[in-house]
């Protein structure tokens, strides 16, 4: 024990020096989504440019439409497609993504409006041949900040991503990323809103390390 005790601090220092520093990036994400419905038929169309590397370049562009069926007023099923351009590393890579989505308004708990979104994704990318499968689960809470119906609300959400298999273009089975958001929701007319806040993304990197993105998230939701 006398020999081990002085050695332990030295080993800890060496391991700390050898461990790679966690990568951090400041980003800006814009999202514009139009929602609509006709009777039990529902749809949305989304465009989302994401700027990274200290908000100096367009890292990713996502175009994501979907059609769905309102099972009840609080429960909707969607089938969608996402076209994704990845520009952050080297040449532009294209991802085609099919997804199934469940949107569920869970109701109010102590005055807090809660909802859930579950997505199952099938992903193909231009630099690989494999299909990558991924599940995403988001829980969201909204707290009204005024007594006025449809007024400003505080928002919080957490979304975990889990890869279900390995793919030759990068994904590995297991934890993929975690996104946590805190911000406000502001009505802009009718049922349309703007959501503005801070999004933290903890993401698994190809080298099996973790990177953290600090994101200013601006979301425009149009509901005619």
pLDDT for res 90: 77
Whole-number Å distance between alpha carbons of 156 and 182? 5
pLDDT for res 23: 87
pLDDT along the chain (224 residues), means of 10: 39 38 87 97 98 95 98 97 90 96 94 96 97 98 88 97 96 96 96 97 86 97 94
pLDDT for res 61: 98
Chain centroid offset of residue 223 CA: 21
Whole-number Å distance between alpha carbons of 172 and 166? 4
Whole-number Å distance between alpha carbons of 123 and 98? 7
HEC sequence for 130-174: CCEEEEEEEEEEEEECCCCCCCCEEEEEEEEEEECCCCCCCCCCE
Burial 53-74 (b: 16+ CB within 10 A, else e): eeeeeebbebebbbebeeeeee
Whole-number Å distance between alpha carbons of 66 and 98? 10
Token duo for residue 144:
């009204």
pTM (2 d.p.): 0.87
Token duo for residue 219:
């979301």
> Which has the closest alpha carbon to 203: 140, 161, 156?
161
pLDDT for res 22: 60
User: Which domains does the chain carry?
Assistant: 22-222 (2.40.160)
pLDDT for res 19: 38
């Amino acid at each position: 024990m006398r020999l081990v005790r002085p050695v332990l601090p030295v080993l800890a220092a060496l391991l700390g020096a050898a461990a790679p520093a966690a990568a951090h990036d400041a980003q800006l994400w814009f999202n514009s989504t139009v929602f609509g419905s006709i009777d039990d038929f529902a749809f949305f169309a989304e465009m989302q440019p994401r700027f990274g590397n200290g908000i100096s370049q367009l890292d990713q562009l996502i175009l994501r439409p979907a059609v769905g069926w309102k099972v009840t007023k609080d429960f909707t099923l969607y089938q969608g497609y996402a076209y994704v351009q990845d520009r952050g590393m080297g040449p532009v890579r294209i991802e085609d993504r099919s997804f199934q989505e469940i949107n569920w308004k869970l109701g109010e708990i102590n005055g807090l409006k809660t909802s859930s979104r579950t997505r199952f994704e099938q992903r193909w990318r231009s630099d690989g041949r494999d299909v990558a499968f991924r599940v995403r689960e988001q829980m969201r809470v909204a707290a009204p900040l005024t007594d006025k119906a449809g007024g400003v609300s505080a928002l919080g959400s957490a979304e975990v991503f889990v890869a279900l298999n390995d793919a030759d273009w990068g994904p590995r089975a297991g934890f993929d990323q975690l996104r946590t958001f805190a911000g406000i929701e502001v009505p802009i007319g009718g049922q349309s809103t703007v959501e503005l806040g801070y999004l933290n993304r903890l993401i698994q990197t190809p080298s099996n390390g973790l990177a953290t993105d600090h994101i200013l998230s601006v979301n425009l939701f149009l509901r005619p």
